[in-house]
Amino acid sequence: MDSPANPTALPMPLSNLTPEEQILQETVRRFARNKIAPLVREMDEAQKMSPAIISQLFELGLMGIEIPEEYGGVGGSFFNSILAVEEISAVDPAIGVLVDVQNTLTVNALLRWGNEDQKQRYLPRMATDTVCSYALSEAGSGSDAFALATTARLDSEDYILNGRKLWISNAAEASLFIVFATVNPGAGYKGITAFLVERSMTGFSVGKKEDKLGIRASSTCELLLDDCRVPAANVLGEVGKGYKIAIETLNEGRIGIAAQLLGLATGAWTHAVRYSQERQQFGKPIAEFQAVQFALADMATEVEASRLMVYNTARRKQSGLPFLKEAAMTKYFVSQVAERVASKAVEIFGGYGFVKDYPVEKLYRDAKIGAIYEGTSNMQLATIAKQIL
Known catalytic residues are: 374
Question: Which amino acid, residue 6?
Answer: N
CA distances in angstroms from 91 to 15, 38, 175, 281, listed in the order given: 21, 10, 26, 28
Indicate the burial class of 69 (C-beta count within 10 angstroms; 0-12, 13-18, 19 or more): exposed
- Alpha carbons within 13 angstroms on the beta-carbon side of residue 38 total 6
How far lies 133's CA from each of 126, 174, 187, 188, 250, in Å? 11, 6, 26, 24, 13
Cα–Cα distance for residue pair 196/231, rounded to 1 Å: 9
Which residues, in sequence order, are bridge partners of residue 224? 164, 205
